[in-house]
Structure 1
Amino acid sequence: DLQNFLNLVVAIQSIWLYVHACLCNSMKNRKPQNFPPGPTCYPFLGNIFSLDATQLHLQLTKMSDNYGNIFSLRLGGTDCVVINTYTKVKEALVDQADTFSGRPPNEVFKKINKCQGISANNGYSWKQQRRFILSTLKNFGVGKRNLECSIKEEFNFLYQTIMNTEGKPFDAHYLINNAVSNIICSLVFGKRFEYTDKRFLNMLNLMSKGLKLQGSLWTQLYNSFPNLMELFPGPHKDMVSYFKQLCNFLNEEIKNHRAEWNPSSPRDFIDCYLSEIEKVCRKNDPEAGFHEQGLCDVLLDLFVAGTETTSTTLLWSFIYMMKYPEIQEKVQAEIDRVIGSLRQPCMADRPNMPYTDAVIHEIQRMANILPLNLPRFTSKNTTLGGYFIPKGTQIIPNLTSVLFDETQWKSPHSFNPQNFLNLQGEFVKPNAFLPFSAGKRACPGESLARMELFLFFTSFFQVFTLSPPVGTKTSLEYEFGITLSPKPFKMTARPRGQSSSQCEGVSASQ
């Protein structure tokens, strides 16, 4: 009858439209000759739903067994190339640094900060912002003794707060986040925040939740189909809201600084940036990106990067020391021998503490907190490992494959400080140790992070012994996001073989 005929016509038209759309999609996304191989992908979606968002770093490392150390994926309509192993990652990020130093277009960052700041920025503006950040932070003490004193002073506050737990199990997450964040806050805002400051604790919570969502399937779907995803509620909108609230917090700090700003006497990074805005304005150089919105974008990058990576590494250090108490004892023995109990550790102690230095580096390697790095973008046509990679290709440098490369490490898959020690017990750093990435996009805060890790770690284990709560076992389970963070855990911190008053004497010393 007529109705059946109309239904048949509609079905035929639908099939024709689908086939036509698939053909158009195939033509549009046709891979160039000699492009890296990869798994079969679905029309429009690519490989998005073939990937495990809970352990993507392990899946991509495993996929190299089938497709080689350089292979391709399609995420929505975007072709990506995944690079595995130290040799290939170095060849891309270091040997071809100029070609692989771009950041790909990112719809999430466009929504948050229009891809400004330094993490998602490109070109002239990125170079000018990075140059200013490095020089200004250096002027305010990064890598110098006065910042070392600030870290030791912050540990004093941390020590007193932990002592208040009276040996009872506690969750160190936001306590450590706050302590580490106070170091970058002292440089950027010229002040620290109390561990009981609810407004600041809320900002740290928003940051942690936002970073977890950044590595989720929702974020990839938003980056691939932004217009479509705008029509639906979901975690992708929560994530944007979290970072918008962080920006509101930062803009309030900028407003307060502007009201009290004295160009002749800069107090911190914000004051220096305000002066740079005036300087660039006189030069009529708007492309450099120095304006108040640019300041907020840079502060967001500094606040997030200066807090999350180091605090997450310290949390992993607590887990590994509880998991391997015999290694914790060896660290404490070296601390006792080199430093003693009458003064706090200092950076000058590090060359004399090869075992502790090796343990810290092994924690960084095993923690693998930036498992897939941040994506890169090719600025021109190039070849890598014999494959052709066209300009504008998104690159995923798989740092997991580097930090666990079986050709580079003595014990790649187990926690072993010997990975960083030679036969004489001297500290040696293998070339494949790249937790801060490499090339022109290497972390600008690496020297600050290294100082914080050494001083917080040695100060902590000088005065405390860590153990899991009675009746529990230490877990190495993680939550996958932009960073690889440990699942929530509790720990017990017991003062080391001395009375509380003696501990306080150590903590209060220089």
Structure 2
Amino acid sequence: MFEFSCDYTTLLLSAGLFFALFYIMNSKRKRNFPPGPSGLPLVGYVPWASGNLGEKFFKLKEKHGNVISIRIASDDWVVLNDFEVINEAFAKKGHAFSGRPSNELFDMIIGGKGIIMTDYGETYKNLRKFGLTTLRGFGVGKRSMEDNVIEETPYLIDELTSSDVEKNLKLKMNYAVSNIICRVVFGSRFNYDDEGFVELQEILLSFYKDTWEHRLVGLVSLAPFLRHLPVFKKAMKAMNGEINKFIAMLDKIKEEHKASFDENDIRDFIDAFIKEMKEGHEAEAGFTDGYLLHYIRDLFEAGTSTTSSTLVWAMLAFLYHPDCQEKIYAEIEAVIGDSGVPSMKHRDQMPYTCAFIQELSRHRTPLPLGVFHKATEESTLRGYTIPKDTMVWGNIWSVHYDPDTFDNPEEFRPERFLDDGGQFVKSNRVIPFSIGPRHCLGEQLARMEVFIFLTGIVQKLRVLPDPGSALPDFNTGVFNMIYESRDFNVRFEKR
């Protein structure tokens, strides 16, 4: 009994000493580094890394300031908590803060390829230039991007009215938005009941599901060592399986394009990319099969999820604020009419609609923390030293909820963006697509989709609550990188 007690005491003392030493070693901040919470030994702030992290980090601003550090496992990340410092880092010092960190989770899944997670350098610049040119419509397809969105709108409206109560709103919005990507990437759209297309949408939706497994994967992205634990390993395997299935689908389409490629008839994004490959712009420029597949995956993931999420939030906003829907309809009646076709040429004549969309982007920010950045060189922000290779988050949520910029920011009020004459006031403090060299590649397309799909829906349909089910809270959502509303039922009634 005495020997057991001694051994047990020794074990406790040893464990206590280990954690004490570990804590002391990891509590030491780098010289002149921003202040912030250290959290617990081994894991740092990870136990608190749930829910809307943008909102949580914003609350730390009062205690720690506009530039703070967060201990994630054994690394210190920097969070930028207001517009001025984000603008300084990502725009004015974009060359120093436009890198992408080496993250074991993303490296394992995508191998550093694609466009979103490619580090800042010549490869990234080549791929971004190619993407901007192609997405503007030069050399791709026979129709403009706007024509594609306009043509897709009636299909979406028909789908939304295919049943008395719509119970799969996120999926239906995904259909429409994803089909725009399909038109650009594959050269054609798909029927909403096409088996392969439906499978593609289900995979896309699975990436951001609010499930226990996805939360575990999210934690692995913050603390990669967790991937060795059985429960995390199982979640990672499931996620990797979905991504591999997605890549296999894209690879099949890519090979079909290669077999039918004609340099005199560039049909779509894939053909344009293959042309670059055939012209010898290969590995050093990023034009390889691997980069192509993950570039397409990036376009679908980023180009579908955030835009469809914004449209779903808009429908929920109409249910909580029916006056917003009627004001938008009044503008549609005055500017477009019942039989006209909504297009971007109408936008400047519809100030309230523009104000509603901007307020929705502010109030229900789809990417509260944007995408990870990395310091590509040692730099300073607000007097603090930011070492090279430091992970940096721009907290877009804190910009959108800054009470010094927006009066009563928790209130959803589109009128805040109208002047005394009722004209729309564009705000450079509403930055859902981030800013600087790494701002969203598809910003122009996303803005176009939201405006045309939204006005198209309101022109033809009334958005009404389902009396048989309760609505989720409009002021809270589900955060899994993307900030989405909780599921809800809705009715669409023809006007």
Q: TM-score range, shorter-chain basis?
A: over 0.9
Once residues 221 and 439 of structure 2 are traced to their aligned partners in structure 1, the CA distance between those partners, rounded to angstroms, is: 26
Q: 3-state SS of the aligned residue for 1:374?
A: coil
Once residues 307 and 226 of structure 2 are traced to their aligned partners in structure 1, the CA distance between those partners, rounded to angstroms, is: 35
**Contact 2:94 2:436 survives alignment (8 Å):** yes
1:82-122 deviations in Å (ceiling 9; x for gaps): 11122222222112211111111111211111011111111
Query: For structure 1, which segment, 355-364 or 207-216, has the greater mean C-alpha deviation from structure 2 after superposition?
Result: 207-216
Query: For structure 1, which segment, 473-482 or 413-422, has the greater mean C-alpha deviation from structure 2 after superposition?
Result: 473-482
Q: 3-state SS of the aligned residue for 1:216?
A: helix
1:160 corresponds to = 158
Once residues 91 and 217 of structure 1 are traced to their aligned partners in structure 2, the CA distance between those partners, rounded to angstroms, is: 34
Q: Decide which of 83, 96, 99 is 1:99's aligned counterpart.
A: 96
Q: Does 2:299 correspond to 1:302?
A: yes
**Contact 1:207 1:243 survives alignment (8 Å):** no
Q: 3-state SS of the aligned residue for 2:393?
A: strand
2:483 corresponds to = 484
Q: Do the aligned partners of residues 345 and 96 (structure 1) sit closer, same or farther apart at CA in structure 2, a change above 3 Å counting?
A: same
2:445 corresponds to = 448
Once residues 397 and 221 of structure 2 are traced to their aligned partners in structure 1, the CA distance between those partners, rounded to angstroms, is: 25
1:287 corresponds to = 284
Deviation at 1:221, TM superposition (A): 3.0
**Contact 2:100 2:117 survives alignment (8 Å):** yes
Q: Decide which of 207, 212, 231 is 1:210's aligned counterpart.
A: 207
Q: Decide which of 456, 464, 482 is 1:459's aligned counterpart.
A: 456
Q: 3-state SS of the aligned residue for 2:280?
A: helix
Which structure 1 residue ranges, 5 or more long, are not aligned?
A: 497-510
Q: 3-state SS of the aligned residue for 2:448?
A: helix
Deviation at 1:280, TM superposition (A): 2.7
Q: Decide which of 23, 33, 36 is 1:35's aligned counterpart.
A: 33
Q: 3-state SS of the aligned residue for 2:144?
A: helix
1:508 corresponds to = none
Q: Decide which of 337, 341, 344 is 1:344's aligned counterpart.
A: 341
Alignment of 1:393-472 (within 5 A): 393-472=390-469
Once residues 293 and 285 of structure 2 are traced to their aligned partners in structure 1, the CA distance between those partners, rounded to angstroms, is: 15
1:409-455 deviations in Å (ceiling 9; x for gaps): 24422111122211111111112010001111100111111111111
Query: For structure 1, which segment, 219-228 or 55-64, has the greater mean C-alpha deviation from structure 2 after superposition?
Result: 219-228
2:132 corresponds to = 134
Q: Do the aligned partners of residues 141 and 490 (structure 1) sit closer, same or farther apart at CA in structure 2, a change above 3 Å counting?
A: farther
Superposition CA RMSD, Å = 2.4
1:72 corresponds to = 69
Tell me which amino acid in the other structure corresponds to 1:495: K
Alignment of 1:313-328 (within 5 A): 313-328=310-325
Deviation at 1:209, TM superposition (A): 2.1
Give the aligned length: 488
1:110 corresponds to = 107
Deviation at 1:77, TM superposition (A): 1.4
Tell me which amino acid in the other structure corresponds to 2:147: C
**Contact 1:29 1:77 survives alignment (8 Å):** no
Once residues 138 and 487 of structure 2 are traced to their aligned partners in structure 1, the CA distance between those partners, rounded to angstroms, is: 34
Q: 3-state SS of the aligned residue for 1:81?
A: strand
**Contact 2:355 2:418 survives alignment (8 Å):** yes
Q: Decide which of 81, 86, 90 is 2:83's aligned counterpart.
A: 86
1:165-191 deviations in Å (ceiling 9; x for gaps): 2x4444322111011100011000111
**Contact 2:257 2:270 survives alignment (8 Å):** yes
Query: For structure 1, which segment, 57-66 or 345-354, has the greater mean C-alpha deviation from structure 2 after superposition?
Result: 57-66
1:121 corresponds to = 118
Once residues 490 and 58 of structure 1 are traced to their aligned partners in structure 2, the CA distance between those partners, rounded to angstroms, is: 27
Q: Do the aligned partners of residues 164 and 46 (structure 1) sit closer, same or farther apart at CA in structure 2, a change above 3 Å counting?
A: closer
TM-score (norm 1): 0.90
Once residues 163 and 227 of structure 1 are traced to their aligned partners in structure 2, the CA distance between those partners, rounded to angstroms, is: 45
